Structure 1
Amino acid sequence: MYKYTVIFILAIIFFCYFSFAYSKYYNGNVSDHFDGSRFFDSDLNNEKNFFDFLKWRVTEKSSPWPDKVPNNQFDLPPARVMGSDLRVSYVGHVTFLIQTQGLNILTDPVWSERASPVSFAGPKRVIDPGINFEHLPPIDIVWVSHNHYDHLDLATINLLWQKHKPRIITPLGNDTIIKASNSEIEVEAYDWGDQVIINDYVKFHIEPMQHWSARGLFDRNKALWAALNIETNSGNIYFVGDSGYGNGRYFKKAREKFGSFRLALLPMGAYEPRWFMQYAHMNPEDMVRAYIDLGRPFTVPSHYDVFKLTDEPRGEALIKLEKAKKFLSVGDKIRNLEPGQFWLVPSIANAE
């Protein structure tokens, strides 16, 4: 295990050395979360650095994962879901197909075998995506929450562009990364607090979340990260790709701003060891607390059991989720989906 860890670290260093030229992603005015060079969180910034990463990898107490888990269920989504009906299909990790109001929206699409800068090392998918790529309906919108490799998968973005020509929406700076891969791709980049009109019935709100960004050693926080609220005339859909809990500050602010949510898609994996991961990733108890902060909407957890990113064993997140639900006395509105499963989400009237 140690040998493979060293090889992976050396591969990252090699890649990052040659990616230095692409580390300036955004030029813009100074703001309360951008200093002219890097983005930051004015309330609570991530103090962990590359040396902390090395400390974790050298001292890690990692649990073994299976090389492959068979996926015996693959969704065949309809071409469109019209009106106020809401269908959400779990592809895997944090990739969801959201269908409502005649739109097909993909979040953080990753179909690649590895979440890594190189094809021969790094976190490998242990279960196949829940929708075969060729069975996707016409994709209208792609949302990319930030630039980590398990969220911004350039190979998948290129395939989606070639086949579907979707409208790609992302926080500031991530457009530079995508266009450096393929200059023909059209990307829209937005700041925290921005609103994006999709059509007469749907609006995107780009919202803060507690995280950070980097694809190499020299580009830390040079691209922005964000949560997404999808406002529809039948309720809000709140998607978080990655976030620490941070005493619930951003979840509580989202509830204050938007009032209620029909659906929340919240991460709960890659959480051990807590001393290193707590700022950036929620564990299952954190996720349940975020669900409470948001007003207890219908919720699907994500970011677990697909890529081995951290030390916890595969399957632990779901066990801890059930314990957290009992400990915090929550109802049955949190529904875990396996890749390939979908949910016809009830109306917001049933979420009250």
Structure 2
Amino acid sequence: MAANARKLVGMAAGAFGISWLVRAAWGIPSAIGASTSAIAPTATGATTYRKGQFHNTEPSSQLTGSGLDLLYQLVTQRDTGRPPGQIPVETPVVPEQAADLAVTWYGHASCLVEVDGYRVLADPVWSERVSPSPLVGPARLHPVPTPLEALPPLDAVLISHDHYDHLDRDTIDTLVRTQRAVFIVPIGIGAHLRQWSVPPQRIVELDWGSSVSLSELEREHDDGTDLVITCSEARHFSGRGLVRNTTLWASWSIAGPTRRVYFGGDTGYTKAFAEAGARLGPFDLTLLPIGAYDRHWPDVHMNPEEAVRAHADLCVGDPGYGLLVPIHWATFNLAFHGWSEPVRRLVAAAQEAGTAVAVPKPGQRIDPIGLPPRDTWWEDVRE
């Protein structure tokens, strides 16, 4: 009897394990997106595309140092980036009309930018995990502040690159169903979108230095204003599977008649910031990544002090011009630094440089014209 019981328990455990593996693997091929062969025809001829891959213009290593050292960090410090308490989340305020300049931060790099009456959603990720698997991979540290269906009508959706924490299939599916906005993406990412049944007429792919105006896409406002979106150089990499750099990565300039916003996406520090500032700036608002940095990948992720330096570059050498709002932190545990370390370092560096910073809670809308008093809410995230 005991042997039969053990056998039944073993069979049940085996069935559970198989069921879990099936659920963990469910949808992975589709979530990965387009194949290399589907991407290549679009990528061929792009500025930095050679031998089947895109390249940074500055020497850049995706990983430096010892693999054993990195493995030790992974084993001993993997929970360092978890918050000690509950992260406060606000229900987003949605004005009837988009402002001349405002941003709502939904967490990580997901932002709703308002520029001269337009609304642009950048790097939207609403899924529970940033992974091709629904059960494996970095999970949210706080809930999404609002359902995707609650977003106001959008004029455009921007994607910086194809990593899972910036491009999410389920989010794209919902936006296709609930919005009419065009998707403006770096070269190659259009293949992923087409694979996911995004209508081709809603996809615009750009190379570094190329621009598109919404009036060209028949999205001109009734008041005659226009919005110009420029694909700007970033220093990063791409890849959703085993093959790297088959699609381009980028930052974005969002320029209306009176206001300019720079969305950094995910990037290491680069001379391209100063070049963008000179050609497209100065920027009234910069949205720059400050988290997920580490000594093992210094070329492709900025640290907080570099973000302050980048803001000055984008404002044509004037660190006191405009407003810096940090992104790419607080929502997913993707590195080995403490959860609040990025924002603490940012605030200290910005104060020393004379740069104005606003740090919204997830879901909070920031209007640079009527900034609230400085709120150090991250200091209250405790057990």
Q: Structure 2 length as normaliser, TM-score?
A: 0.78
Structure with the greater alpha carbon radius of gyration: 2
Aligned 8 A contact 2:104 2:363 in 1: yes
- How far apart in 2 are the matches of 1:165 and 1:44? 39
1:54-93 alignment runs, 5 A limit: 56-60=70-74, 61-62=77-78, 63=80, 65-66=82-83, 69-81=86-98, 85-93=100-108
For residue 335 of structure 1, report the CA deviation from its aligned partner: 1.1
Residues of 1 paired with 2:206 and 2:298: CA distance?
27
AA aligned opposite 2:97: R
Distance (Å, rounded) in 2 between the aligned partners of 1:184 and 1:161: 8
- Which residue of the partner structure matches residue 262 of structure 1? 284
Q: Which runs of no fewer than 5 residues in structure 1 stay unpaired?
A: 1-6, 348-352
Pick closer, same or farther for the CA change 1:310–1:46 going to 2, 3 Å. same
Q: Within 5 A, what are the aligned runs for 1:257-296?
A: 257-272=279-294, 274=295, 276-295=296-315, 296=319
Residue 312 of structure 2 aligns to a residue whose secondary structure is helix
Match of 1:343 in 2: 366
Corresponding residue of 2:175: 160
Give RMSD over aligned pairs: 2.9
CA displacement at 1:336 relative to structure 2: 1.0
Which residue of 2 is the match for residue 197 of structure 1? 213
Aligned residues between the structures: 328
How far residue 100 of structure 1 moved from its aligned partner, in angstroms, is 2.9
Q: Which runs of 5+ in 2 are unaligned?
A: 1-19, 216-224, 371-383
CA distance in 2, matches of 1:19, 1:86: 35
Counterpart CA distance in 2 for 1:72 and 1:125 is 13
Query: Counterparts of 1:47 and 1:89 in 2: how far apart (Å)?
Result: 30
Q: Counterpart in 1 of 2:221?
A: none
| CA distance 1:36–1:284, change in 2 (3 Å) | same
Q: Does 1:99 align with 2:119?
A: no
Q: Percent identity?
A: 31
Query: Quick one: structure 1 residues 172 and 31, their matched pair in 2 at CA, closer, same or farther if it must change by over 3 Å?
Result: closer
Please give the residue correspondences for 1:97-136 in structure 2 after superposition, counting only pairs within 5 Å.
Answer: 97-136=112-151
2:5 aligned partner: none
- How far 1:99 sits from its partner (Å)? 1.9
Q: Deviations over 1:297-339 (max 9, x none)?
A: 211011011000111121111121123234xx22251111111
TM-score, length basis structure 1: 0.84
How many angstroms does 1:136 deviate by?
0.9
Aligned residues of 2:34 and 2:195 also touching (Cα < 8 A): no
Compute the displacement of 1:279 (Å): 1.4
C-alpha separation between the residues in 1 aligned to 2:44 and 2:126? 35
> Which position in structure 2 is the counterpart of 1:350?
none
* Distance across 1 between alignment mates of 2:173 and 2:152: 17
| CA 1:285–1:19: 2 relative to 1, 3 Å | closer
- Rate the CA distance shift 1:176–1:287 in 2: closer, same or farther, 3 A: same
- Tell me what 1:23 maps to: 36
Deviation at 1:47, TM superposition (A): 5.0
Distance 1:344 1:260, change over 3 A: same
> Helix, strand or coil for the counterpart of 2:369?
coil
> Residue 30 of structure 1 contacts residue 36 of structure 1 at CA under 8 Å; is this kept in 2?
no
Query: 1:328-339 residue pairs with structure 2 within 5 A?
Result: 329-339=352-362
Residue aligned with 1:255, SS: helix
